[in-house]
Amino acid sequence: MTVTIAVAGKGGTGKTTLAGLLVRYLIRNRPGKKVLAIDADPSSNLHLVLGLPLTQTVGDIREESRTGVGPGQSRTEWLNYAVRMAVEEGDDCDLLAMGRPEGQGCYCAANHMLRSIMDGIAASYDYVVMDNEAGMEHLSRRTTRDVDHLLLVSDASLRGMAAAEAMVGLSRELEINVRNIYLVINRVIGEMPPTLRAKTETLSIPLLAVLPYDPLLVEFDGQGRPLVELPDDAPISEAVASVAQRLLA
């Protein structure tokens, strides 16, 4: 059974960071398990956090399928082959980038095929970690799979939390089943302010974790070093490890 974890939230809250660090945790702590990272943000950048090259995206493939399918080939077969080739195979985990979302044209048939192809690919992994763009409208267009854990990331502000709360409503409208939804507050310096702590208790979703501001992470990002290389004893690595342990217990 594949465990699917999706990360969503407002822009700049740390979604890609958290997704990357969850992948890092799985690689280091679940040896022998297959991990697929899905970059569902059109401005793909999860690969940088994972230290992988960015190759063809599913969006590129959808475009190419309009003209690239040769005579005697079925479009499904062509798409199936192309998407499988687009899975970037890293040493420790694989990556599939969604790229640009569908345009206004009628690509419905292609999208439908792509979703089931991606679901077929995902099913062969033990863990799928999906990094989403800000907002959630696209989550259900990307997958027909159930999401086991949806993590809504917020910064340490009342506005951030209000945005997360609004997303809970949106997520209930998705055409996919989301088993658990949790709040994660990121980039907290010192203790959480009491007003924020009190606010979390009024929300409809449980607070899974408070992740610390970690200067080492800033240093890595500043140098363009993949976050998968962060040491185990970095505060953010330890915090994400306890998130993962609670999720996967």
Ligand X SMILES: Nc1ncnc2c1ncn2[C@@H]1O[C@H](COP(=O)(O)OP(=O)(O)O)[C@@H](O)[C@H]1O
Binding mask 227-246 for ligand X (x = CB under 6 A): ---------x----------
Should residue 158 be labelled a site residue for ligand X when binding is judged by CB under 6 A? no
CB of 130 to ligand X, least distance (A): 12
Q: CA–CA separation, 240 vs 246, rounded Å? A: 10
Taking the complex as a whole, the smallest distance from the CB of residue 67 to ligand X amounts, in Å, to 33
235 vs 241: CA distance, rounded Å: 10
* 61 counts as binding ligand X under rule CB under 6 A: no
Pairing of strands 94-97, 35-40: parallel
User: How far separated are the first and last CA of the chain, in Å rounded?
Assistant: 15
Report the site for ligand X in 179-218 (rule: CB under 6 A).
186-187, 211, 213-214, 217-218
The smaller minimum CB distance to Mg ion, of residues 15 and 149, is found at 15
Burial of 200 (0-12, 13-18, 19+ CB in 10 A): middle
Tokens of 120: 């077929």
Q: Locate all alpha helices (DSSP H) within the chain, ordered by sequence.
A: 15-29, 46-50, 58-64, 75-86, 108-122, 139-142, 158-173, 194-200, 215-223, 235-248
Query: Does 16 sit near Mg ion (CB under 5 A)?
Result: yes
Q: Which residue is nearest to Mg ion (CB)?
A: 16
13/143 with CB nearer Mg ion: 13
Q: Contact residues for Mg ion (CB under 5 A)?
A: 15-16
Q: Contact residues for ligand X (CB under 6 A)?
A: 11-17, 186-187, 211, 213-214, 217-218, 221, 236
